[in-house]
């Protein structure tokens, strides 16, 4: 073996260690720049091998929602569709139309029986989903919570939660609208389904913020029900018997819209009162523009569809090595100053059939 051949073999063996390679290059007088170019070529070749990106896989995921027809979830479904298109997956949107927990549990059991590749579920009850989640875990099916989650310390074996920190979002929102209420004023707080874990924590946050404010503000809680058709009539009935109310504040999308509707009909905000709540119903955005709602809180419904698909896909693809992670989908306030950015055609807020570009 001549000296030149031996030197090249030494370089090849040293390539396993970048530091060793550069040390050997100095010994042989090759120069760091020359060797760096060679290593860069190797790296470029490796990069070319992975240029196709992540593979598309025909996984099927089930989404179990508590109010499957609620327009809040339109952008959520768009997010699911876009993620499935990106990763080659498919989905089924199922659950209950009117927050019937037993129907949701049944939908989870059906998904498990069908050997779903992953289940995303709105955990609106603190214990009702524990057994089904355990069953899914034993079958090797990842379960991700979205939009609503079990309390801290729950034995539920869901792998992650994708959504807003609900208690804190209620508390922070109340701090914002309390500034609009006179000291010692009176407000109405509405909730569609008392105890439901997608809205009860917000209501609890509202109430705690009122107590912490030492403002003397008093409140009534109105159960508006899960049916949007009845929410307006219940809010209106309350208003007509409490016309001195200083503000009305929803904890969900449809009851916030109902508060805005009554404000628009009777001039609550324009008369010096306040109305605020959650979510981006197009009607609520219109009431912000018209001055009948002060603000609403955005919780990024699109991400509540996209991220669970992404997490379950990566979990399946990696054989469980890439575990789902809790994801806070943010808290942004929509006011008259920025509402125009939300009212146009946008798939990310549920008002366009076009794919994102």
pLDDT band at residue 20 under the 50/70/90 scheme: very low
Q: Give Rg (Cα) of the chain.
A: 27
Give the per-residue pLDDT at 349.
84
Min mean pLDDT across 70-74, 94-98, 114-118, 234-238 is at 70-74
Share of the chain above pLDDT 70, in %: 84
Give the per-residue pLDDT at 137.
97
Share of the chain above pLDDT 90, in %: 78
List pLDDT tens digits, range 88-99: 999 999 999 999
List pLDDT tens digits, range 166-179: 999 999 999 999 99
State the average pLDDT over residues 255-283. Answer: 97
CA-CA distance, 294 to 202, in Å (whole number)? Answer: 18
Q: Give the mean pLDDT of the chain.
A: 88
State the average pLDDT over residues 223-243. Answer: 93
pLDDT band at residue 351 under the 50/70/90 scheme: confident
Query: Residue 61: phi, psi to the nearest 5?
Result: -110, 145
pLDDT band at residue 280 under the 50/70/90 scheme: very high
Give the per-residue pLDDT at 120.
98
Angle, helix 228-241 to helix 253-266, in steps of 10 degrees? 40
């Amino acid at each position: 073996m001549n000296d030149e051949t031996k030197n090249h073999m030494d370089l090849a063996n040293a390539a396993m260690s970048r530091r060793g390679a550069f040390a050997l290059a100095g010994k042989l007088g090759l120069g760091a720049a020359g060797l760096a170019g060679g290593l860069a070529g190797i790296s470029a070749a490796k990069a070319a091998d992975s240029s196709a990106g992540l593979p598309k896989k025909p996984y099927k995921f089930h989404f179990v929602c508590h109010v499957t027809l609620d327009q809040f979830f339109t952008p959520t479904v768009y997010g699911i569709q876009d993620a499935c298109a990106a990763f080659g997956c498919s989905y089924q949107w199922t659950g209950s139309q009117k927050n019937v927990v037993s129907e949701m549990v049944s939908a989870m059991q059906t998904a498990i029986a069908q050997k779903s590749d992953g289940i995303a579920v709105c955990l609106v009850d603190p214990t009702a989903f524990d057994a089904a989640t355990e069953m899914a875990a034993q079958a090797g099916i990842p379960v991700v919570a979205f939009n609503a989650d079990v309390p801290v310390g729950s034995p539920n074996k869901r792998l992650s939660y994708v959504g807003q920190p609900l208690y804190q979002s209620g508390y922070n929102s109340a701090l914002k609208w309390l500034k609009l209420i006179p000291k010692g004023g009176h407000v109405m707080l509405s909730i569609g389904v008392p105890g439901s874990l997608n809205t009860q924590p917000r209501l609890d946050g509202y109430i705690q913020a009122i107590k912490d404010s030492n403002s003397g503000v008093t409140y009534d809680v109105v159960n508006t029900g899960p049916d949007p058709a009845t929410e307006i009539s219940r809010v209106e009935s309350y208003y007509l018997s409490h016309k001195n109310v200083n503000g009305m504040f929803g904890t969900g999308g449809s009851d916030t819209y109902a508060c805005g509707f009554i404000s628009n009909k009777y001039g609550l905000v324009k008369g010096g009162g306040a109305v605020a709540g959650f979510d981006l119903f197009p009607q609520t955005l219109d009431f912000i523009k018209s001055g009948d709602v002060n603000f609403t809180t955005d919780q990024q419904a699109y991400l509540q569809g996209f991220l669970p698909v992404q997490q379950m896909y990566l979990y399946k693809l990696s054989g469980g090595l890439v575990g789902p992670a809790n994801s806070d989908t943010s808290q942004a306030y929509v006011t008259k100053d920025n509402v125009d950015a939300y009212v146009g055609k946008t798939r990310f807020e549920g008002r366009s059939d076009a794919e994102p570009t």
